[in-house]
């Protein structure tokens, strides 16, 4: 009787382990963030900032560099904002969240100008036959809810203007 109970426990435990792993369906796609490279106003000191030109639009551009999927993301946003980024892959959609970490309204981190912030998200394991969708979300502490800036399907070497 004990070996049968142990065997049932082992089968159930194995089933639970395989069904509870996060993003199991998407891990088969193999897309994995390797590195994030901040650019644009992310790298500037407040005394070297200039307002972004009006023609700069929020953008997403995908390309392949060697065997790496590169997602270039650029947004217009108030100068001097501190950012952290996060990417997740759920339900065949690549979510990129740009979080303004200013403790607003308790702290005013901002300068009086607009800037163009950029990031290059570098991913490995991208398979062209399994093209996921993407969503870029801005988490702004001055807003009640995060804002969807851009979304679409990954198209290599394609320019995706945002609507923010």
Rounded to whole angstroms, how far apart are CA atoms 138 and 8? 47
β pairing state of 93-100 and 133-139:
parallel
Query: In 12-113, at which residue ranges do the beta strands (DSSP E only) sit?
Result: 32-40, 59-65, 68-78, 83-90, 93-100
pLDDT at site 77: 93
pLDDT of 81 reads 92
At 16 the pLDDT is 40
Ranges of residues in the chain with a pLDDT under 50 are 10, 12-28, 164
Please tell me the predicted confidence (pLDDT) of residue 126. 78
- Look at residue 101 in the predicted model and tell me its pLDDT: 94
Half-sphere exposure of 5 toward its Cβ, with a 13 Å CA cutoff?
2
Cβ atoms of residues 122 and 36 within 8 Å: yes
Give pLDDT tens digits for 145-164. Answer: 999 999 998 887 655 565 54
| CA–CA dist 115, 82 (Å, integer) | 12
């Amino acid at each position: 009787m004990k070996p049968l109970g142990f065997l049932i426990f082992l089968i159930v435990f194995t089933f639970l382990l395989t069904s509870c792993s996060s993003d199991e369906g998407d891990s088969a796609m193999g897309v994995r963030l390797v590195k994030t490279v901040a650019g644009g106003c992310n790298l500037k000191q407040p005394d070297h900032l200039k307002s972004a030109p009006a023609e700069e639009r929020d953008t997403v551009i995908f390309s392949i560099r060697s065997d790496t999927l590169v997602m270039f993301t650029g947004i217009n946003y108030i100068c001097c904002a501190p950012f952290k980024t996060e990417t997740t892959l759920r339900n065949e959609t690549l979510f990129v969240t740009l979080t303004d970490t200013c403790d607003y309204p308790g702290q005013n981190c901002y300068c009086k100008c607009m800037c163009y912030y950029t990031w290059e998200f570098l991913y490995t394991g991208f398979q062209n036959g399994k093209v996921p969708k993407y969503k870029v979300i801005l988490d702004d502490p001055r807003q009640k809810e995060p804002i969807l800036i851009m979304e679409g399907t990954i198209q290599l070497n394609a320019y995706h203007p945002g609507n923010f």
